[in-house]
Structure 1
């Protein structure tokens, strides 16, 4: 899949500048609509009826319904149906199953109770058709569709309703996700989400450890952001959820709170957003990955470097180089310190990466200062006087995909002014 992005043919977009894409796709790609389903025959019928009304070329649309263990099993001749055993609510696994059974170049995810307007697929697939690492989200409205007998007539004069306030405020404040940061994964909803198959496969799909309501879309979006995906909200791609927003589904506040707490607990182990980890716990996937080159260190100087890096609490340190075994002389039992390569699952989820070479010492807030300089406009921070580089995972992912480092800006700071200095080979550790 290829195309022009604001005149930048065969090149990634800088930052999150989807507004630079002013062209239309040079061709319509094949689209697979993936629908997780569980015992919703009436609602599914509405979705399938709406998909037959799309303005997108019908011969390029494939529909795959992933049955999450319904009783009786879903049987339809007009769409592809795949099925998994009923082991509880497993939307993440169902979406992955549906995607694996599909063939389209672009994947549109819809829920079985979310009915798309006729122009939905055309609008939502436009950007991924041109920018292969784009992740788009549509506009989800809520209405009671139980008594709607004629969708075509209903779409011609739908009710005037607003998006849920939490989403409307977010999209308004970010200009439809033109302005993004590490919290923007929260505005991606899998019920109205679209991306290329190439991006979905690169990410590894949804995390199937999510069982129960919610969280799997935020986790996928978080990984996509750190991989350098371009986020965009497409207000012209509207789909109607048959029923109220989550906040209106149950009058029981405790029930809603239990469900949201379960979602929060599932996310905190995988999403390194500081807001998700404000309780101070340490997880095996850190917010900051620090790679420390141990060459030229003594046991004491390495300890001083590593301990100063760990002044940033949500951090994992990976020791590499010829002197990595010196850490064994400390007698420490700190689960944040590792020897060897950083695991791919950690790199895929951590927000930023620090590389340190030499006997570097960071004062108390120095690492936090470097992290704070990263943004969607700044992907790299270098430091004078020492061999220290801080990079956002997002900028690294984009650079690897497009084989260029010019898609995010860089800043340079003075090491001494930032409290980052060289330490002697034998610092005084006594007290």
Structure 2
């Protein structure tokens, strides 16, 4: 902490515009501010009801009202222009998530006093003393392969690391702040939620910071991944390991499905909803919009009840944990990657959700529609990327303008109806696109095993003088 504060005391960014909050998260002995520190530095104690980095950062943010929130690990040394490089971006736009360039030194003990570190940072010689160090290889590979995240699309959040990161306070708060329940991986989880609110991620190479020593996630990689996996998977539908276990229900679903049942027949609604629930993408949440106030207790009609279809739909799905009943179209859940609008009577294929979301990610699209589909109730399926529409709303687009802006910023992708929907009279299964290749492979295997069987028959006849061959032939004929 002492060297971190010393480096912050030597920043090119004006000291009177910067407030530094140091959070003591149960340190023993308790932290004491060193004499060399920025002019506006405060020490706060994290509330006793929690612990961990997420809990501490949240406590620090709540202790200040600064318009930009910047997190810096207590074992980081910031180069002279570090803070300035971050803040330049936040003067340009209010929906940016900026990360600095983290360099790992070999050992936490630099041999420098706080005074020496401040002087080194101030005269620009810190790099000469701390050395080139190492960066996280996987982060460097992502940045290089995506032209500095320009082509990263929906995966840009994955390199959001908390050692040096900054966002505008409004964006931080709209995302819900840090999750105090995350004892590890809290920065990645926040990055995901920021992306869902439409954030643009900016890697700033000028904002160099030296991490004194190797972090736990690097020193104990496998153990760190094992510990963080269930916490991340429950909260981040984009977590790669979670996509390998599709038959699960999670805290945050992968897709929100909205079905408007008002005035629709039970048969049409159930046919559509059952097809979705029985599809090969299990982590969905189905929200049924309906007149559920008509489902009243007490005496009522049966087959001639005016509300019979409403009652049947309610009874059919009231015990299904993935189904919710809502009175009006719900606002998009910002944590869920996709929202799928479905018209009752549209029977989807088992792989419909996977096909739609896969096309959206493959094409980088913010909106996926079916070809020749109309608008309103005539639109059988409509898939919206939550992050794309969140950014469009943030940029001030009204309801009638959002589709066009999303198409401009992210792209619009059209799919053929038979890729997603089952035509009348069809079965739910479709032959795979490579069916001919698979058939030829099966025929080759059949020929290979037939020749193998004949080879063994010849060998058996040679070994037994033909005595067992007649028995084998009899068994085969039988």
Tell me whether 1:226 sits opposite 2:210 in the alignment: no
Aligned pairs for 1:352-391 within 5 A: 352-375=338-361, 377-383=364-370, 384-385=372-373, 386-387=378-379, 388-391=381-384
Aligned to 2:476: none
CA change 1:249–1:371 in 2 (3 A) is closer
Aligned pair partner of 1:291 in 258, 262, 266: 258
Residues 142 and 243, structure 1, Cα contact 8 Å, conserved in 2? yes
Aligned to 1:73: 30
Deviations 1:133-179 (A, max 9, x none): 00011111111241134224351514122312122112212222222
CA RMSD of aligned residues (A): 2.6
TM-aligned CA deviation for residue 377 of structure 1: 4.5
Aligned pairs for 1:15-414 within 5 A: 44-76=1-33, 79-85=41-47, 89-143=51-105, 144-146=107-109, 147-149=111-113, 150-151=116-117, 152-153=119-120, 154-157=125-128, 158-210=130-182, 212=183, 214-246=184-216, 249=219, 256-273=221-238, 275-277=240-242, 278-280=244-246, 281-310=248-277, 311=279, 312-322=281-291, 325-330=311-316, 333-340=319-326, 347-375=333-361, 377-383=364-370, 384-385=372-373, 386-387=378-379, 388-404=381-397, 405=402, 406=405, 407-414=409-416
Distance in 2, Cα, partners of 1:236 & 1:99:
24
TM-score, normalised with respect to structure 2: 0.72
The secondary structure found in structure 1 opposite 2:69 is strand
Residues 68 and 83, structure 1, Cα contact 8 Å, conserved in 2? yes
Residues 136 and 232, structure 1, Cα contact 8 Å, conserved in 2? yes
Distance in 2, Cα, partners of 1:330 & 1:248:
50
Bigger mean CA offset, 195-204 vs 331-340? 331-340
Deviations 1:208-233 (A, max 9, x none): 121x3x21111111111111100111
Distance in 2, Cα, partners of 1:91 & 1:230:
24
CA change 1:241–1:393 in 2 (3 A) is same
Unaligned ranges ≥5, structure 1: 1-43, 251-255
The secondary structure found in structure 1 opposite 2:5 is helix
Larger helix share, 1 or 2: 2
Distance in 1, Cα, partners of 2:387 & 2:186:
20
Residues 56 and 122, structure 1, Cα contact 8 Å, conserved in 2? yes
Residues 205 and 220, structure 1, Cα contact 8 Å, conserved in 2? yes
The secondary structure found in structure 2 opposite 1:420 is coil
CA change 1:243–1:51 in 2 (3 A) is same
Aligned to 1:420: 421
Unaligned ranges ≥5, structure 2: 292-308, 428-478
Pairs aligned (count)? 373
The secondary structure found in structure 1 opposite 2:11 is coil
CA change 1:342–1:126 in 2 (3 A) is farther
The secondary structure found in structure 1 opposite 2:390 is helix
Bigger mean CA offset, 384-393 vs 178-187? 178-187
Larger Rg: 2
Distance in 1, Cα, partners of 2:185 & 2:241:
12
Bigger mean CA offset, 380-389 vs 128-137? 380-389
Distance in 2, Cα, partners of 1:332 & 1:105:
45
Distance in 1, Cα, partners of 2:384 & 2:257:
10
Deviations 1:15-74 (A, max 9, x none): xxxxxxxxxxxxxxxxxxxxxxxxxxxxx1101110011111111111011111222322
Residues 289 and 329, structure 2, Cα contact 8 Å, conserved in 1? no
Residues 293 and 356, structure 1, Cα contact 8 Å, conserved in 2? yes
TM-aligned CA deviation for residue 285 of structure 1: 1.8
Larger strand share, 1 or 2: 1
If asked which structure has higher relative contact order (CA below 8 Å, sep 6+), I would say: 1
CA change 1:74–1:162 in 2 (3 A) is closer
Residues 72 and 162, structure 2, Cα contact 8 Å, conserved in 1? yes
TM-aligned CA deviation for residue 198 of structure 1: 1.2
Residues 154 and 364, structure 2, Cα contact 8 Å, conserved in 1? no
Aligned to 2:440: none
Residues 285 and 350, structure 1, Cα contact 8 Å, conserved in 2? yes
Residues 361 and 423, structure 1, Cα contact 8 Å, conserved in 2? no
